[in-house]
A and B are shown apart, each in its own frame.
Chain A
Amino acid sequence: MYHVLQEFMTATKGMCYVLSFGLLVIFVPFWLFLSEREKDDTSLPDKDEH
């Protein structure tokens, strides 16, 4: 059963779609973690200062 599923997922590129969706979902907490401290942070580059 496992081999049948693996072959099906490979032949149809299904694994690729599942993985892409998983990585997209993971990107959300990654982005939130990355930008968590931006809300009240004043040490970021000031867009008006140039």
Chain B
Amino acid sequence: MSQPATATGKLLTPFNLITAAILAVGGVITVLRFFVSGLAGTTNLTDTYPWGLWIGFDVMSGVALAAGGFVISSAVYLFGMKEYKPLVRPAILTGFLGYSLVVVGLLYDLGRWYRLPYPFVVKPGPTSMLFEVGLCVALYLTTLAIEFSPAALEWLGWKRLRQLVGSLTIALTILGLILSTMHQSSLGALFLITPTKLHPLWYSSHLPVHFFISAVAGGLGMIIIESALSHRVFHDQVEISGERFSQLTVGLAKAAAVTLAVYLAVKVIGIAMDDKWHWLASGYGGWYLVEMLGFVALPCFLFVIGYRERRLGAIRVAAVLTVLGIVLNRLNVAIFAFNWQLPAAERYFPSWMELWVTVSIVTAGVWIFRFIVKRMPILHEHPEWRGQH
């Protein structure tokens, strides 16, 4: 593809109308949340459940699913798997948007949202795990912004700055890998202080390891889904052939199969280590088995079959199951299996406004992704910068 595709098109499409309506209602709720009734009027959060959907989904799941950026850029620039280079920019963009929306979701959840920079500039708490997560996310978001900037600079035609940023690629990739490893695992470490609140099947002294491995699997799943959708929706932008794209998808399936197999093994060893087998016979045990068998073992099996038989359909189903499984795991840890001993009447369920804000944030992400992909060289290389970092 040598010509940048046109960004103009019909404005009144069903997609635009539906998403605009979602965002309009989300805007009204935003005004209510920040300027009228606060957290109490818009959420079902309590002192028992200070973290709800906006943390469980928008932050915990958002960070995990944005892991594709560091996974694929590390594979290409650090481990020499250069055949996957066409997937780097879409993955970096997905990661950049994902982390940006994580911060947006965090702002909704913070009572005094305007104090977000306080831990860095006013009163640091370097002994807190939350401080480490916040610092790493802030630094990694900055790293992702710089990693993404070549596409924007090529689009703007700022050649000297583009050249400078391009020369930083390896350093940025290493920094991104370190920061991601740290905060993906630290998000799990946040729950290490909750052994009496989190159900024993989900609680483990190895939660940081579980979170990190599952984030890698979730990131790979997101890359497969996002690239398949982009290939279909933005086919006029895509440069690589359908055959090569299929080869890359199949290659990712192998990585995802091994990652999920390792994750499953680590989880089983965790059950054995703390002798939690008897918990599997309870109601929560059934729910745990649904997560492990339906959203870890099954997608692992489908990835294996998809890789061996070159079945793209099986690989995409497996990717969807993997992503759903990571979301389910984060929701289980943060919400469903949290405060599990409380009676049903005292359990948390998100209000419709919390759900709507979450849907609005995801919708905004899709809009911004579409806006950028239609204009900047994300799915194709800029003719003047072909073959460069």
Contacts and interface: CB of A to CB of B under 8 A. Distances in A.
Nearest to B83: A45
B139 interface: no
Interface in B31-90: 81-86
A40 B59 CA distance: 44
A33 interface: yes
Contact of A33 (B82, B244, B246, B308): B308
Name the residue in B247, B272, B310 with the highest tally of chain A Cβ atoms < 10 Å from its Cβ: B272
B277 to A, nearest CB: 9
B347 interface: no
A47 B82 contact: yes
Given A43-B250, A49-B83, A30 B273 contact: no
A50 B275 CA distance: 49
A49 B244 contact: yes
Contacts of A10: 275
Interface string B253-278: 01001100100010011001101000
Contacts of A30: 261, 304
A3 interface: no
B258 A34 contact: yes
Interface of B is mostly: helix
B257 A34 contact: yes
Interface of A is mostly: helix
Contact of B251 (A31, A34, A45, A50): A45
Interface residues of A, number: 22
A34 B84 contact: no
A13 B273 CA distance: 6
Contacts of B202: none
Interface string A8-43: 001001011001100100010011011111000001
B244 A45 contact: yes
A36 B308 contact: yes
Contact of A15 (B246, B254, B272, B308): B272
A4 interface: no
A44 interface: yes
A48 to B, nearest CB: 8
B305 to A, nearest CB: 10
Contacts of A13: 273
A34 B305 CA distance: 8
18 contacts: A15-B275, A16-B269, A16-B273, A19-B269, A23-B269, A30-B261, A31-B258, A34-B304, A35-B254, A44-B247, A44-B250, A45-B83, A45-B250, A45-B251, A47-B81, A47-B82, A49-B83, A49-B244
